[in-house]
Amino acid sequence: MLRINLPFVSKEALLEYDWSSVRLKRMKSWLEVSTAPRKFLIVRLSAIGDVIHVLPALRSLRENFPSAHIAWLVEDKAEGILKKHPDLDEIIVFPKKRWITGLKNPFTFLQTAAEIASFITNLRKQGFEMAVDFQGNLKSGIMTLLSGSPLRIGFARGHCKEGNFLFTNYWVAPPSKRLHKIEKNLSLLEGLGLKTMVGARVRLRRMPLQISKEDDEYIAAQLVRNAEYGMRNCKLRTANSAIRTQPLVVIHAGTSDFGAYKRWPAASYAQLAGKVVEELNAYVVFTWESSELEMVKEIISVMRHPGHLAPKTETLGQLVSLIRRADLFISGDTGPMHIASALGVPQVAIFGPKDPTIYGPYQKHAIAVRKELDCSPCTKRTCDNPICITSITPKEVFEAAKALLARKIQYNTKLGSSS
């Protein structure tokens, strides 16, 4: 049985605490347990990029506790990133969207409420000995508390949002507020005295994103089914590999509606893509979600040279499979950008209001293009004049793409000559 020598701390005591003294706290001086925890719960509910940012911490947790049971509480939209992950024993899906819909409908309210109560009961029955909240907001704090874990690890006040620290009972303050999200997540484990992957090692190491055979074969078949791509540009060698006479450049021009303020103009993407086709002899494919389809069709229609719609991706695994095949990936600050980063695909990331030091790609084959402005980075969700993103020119992004693609081609040439 796990014994935790930590006093209960009331909300009143938390509010009166001298928070200036809170720093990284080591397990040996602040936390004593009779045995190593055997059941862990990771709480990072969303979104796709944020879930990816916790994967190095998952790897470190597994390296420190190779025999432990590690579960992850995640929303259904990001579940696909974690499927069949070698370091996970269990995925607990939190169906947020369905529950919200059910609670708003008077005919399904009681049924949904009963389902939520059953979910919480089953979560508590799991007997998690340690819950680690990597999200740090009200929603994740509530779920961490409801897990019933006696030891709830979270970020200290000032490093989390919406009073999250009130729901945890062991706090870690990262050494800086301007850390990349991956490094911030690793600091949560370092605050427990655990060994973690250092930054350089994380950047050099691809994160395992699992792709089912069905998803991989679907993407391969869809690409080859495109007559121009299949007949002119590649000979299919296997379902996973193709020999192309043109480099494959994948562009994701969209963002979520929530992140629309980070979106580079469609006209700029059209100019960039046309230049990539013309000057780099690339085959350009645009990935898309349903809400972005018309915008992407418009971009392709005004390109000076032909661009192509990517196959429809029904699952995250299919999107991962497509991005993995790219010689170069171009996007704004969005979920697919983090997928490319995790896969180690050369990429250009176009940044406006957000700070790429914190939110950008975390790998060595990436260039973040942004403008140095007095107002950027910022924390606004809307802006009447987002010059931080609109002032970035297609030429600036193209030069970054050209440099990365040249490196990729040089590497492939060396690889081919040595084999």
Report domain extents, the chain. Answer: 11-204, 213-418
Residues paired with residue 39 on neighbouring β-strands, in sequence order: 69
For 270-290, what is the mean pLDDT? 95
Per-residue model confidence (pLDDT) at position 20: 40
**Which pLDDT tens digit goes with each residue over 366-414?**
999 999 998 889 988 888 889 999 999 999 999 999 999 998 877 666 6
Amino acid at 73: L
Per-residue model confidence (pLDDT) at position 383: 85
- Tokens 């190779």 map to which residue? 66
For residue 115, the tally of other CB atoms under 10 A from its CB is 15
Distance between CA atoms of residues 235 and 246, nearest Å: 12
The set of residues, in sequence order, having a beta carbon less than 8 Å from that of 204 and lying 6+ positions away, is 364
Lowest mean pLDDT among 11-25, 27-41, 127-141, 283-297: 11-25
Q: Taking CA 222 as the corner, what is the angle to CA 218 and CA 227, rounded to the nearest 5 degrees?
A: 160
How is domain 11-204 classified at the CATH fold level? Answer: Rossmann fold (3.40.50)
More confident residue, 60 or 228: 60
Per-residue model confidence (pLDDT) at position 382: 83
For 247-273, what is the mean pLDDT? 92
**Which pLDDT tens digit goes with each residue over 136-167?**
999 999 999 999 999 999 999 999 999 999 99
Average pLDDT, the chain: 85
Q: Confidence class of residue 1 from pLDDT cuts 50, 70 and 90?
A: very low
Per-residue model confidence (pLDDT) at position 145: 97
- Whether 323 and 329 have beta carbons less than 8 Å apart is answered as yes
Per-residue model confidence (pLDDT) at position 231: 43
For 160-185, what is the mean pLDDT? 94
Per-residue model confidence (pLDDT) at position 380: 83
- Whether 353 and 261 have beta carbons less than 8 Å apart is answered as yes
Q: Confidence class of residue 344 from pLDDT cuts 50, 70 and 90?
A: very high
Per-residue model confidence (pLDDT) at position 199: 54
Per-residue model confidence (pLDDT) at position 410: 74
- Whether 148 and 124 have beta carbons less than 8 Å apart is answered as yes
For 122-132, what is the mean pLDDT? 97
Percent of the chain as helix, strand, coil, to the nearest 5: 45, 15, 40
Per-residue model confidence (pLDDT) at position 226: 66
Residue 235 has pLDDT above 50, yes or no: no
Residue 244 has pLDDT above 90, yes or no: no
More confident residue, 150 or 232: 150
Residue 174 has pLDDT above 60, yes or no: yes
- Whether 362 and 49 have beta carbons less than 8 Å apart is answered as no
For 213-222, what is the mean pLDDT? 92
Per-residue model confidence (pLDDT) at position 19: 35
Distance between CA atoms of residues 152 and 145, nearest Å: 7
Distance between CA atoms of residues 258 and 240, nearest Å: 34
How is domain 213-418 classified at the CATH fold level? Answer: Rossmann fold (3.40.50)
Sign of torsion over alpha carbons 19, 25, 30, 36: positive
Q: Taking CA 314 as the corner, what is the angle to CA 51 and CA 75, rounded to the nearest 5 degrees?
A: 30
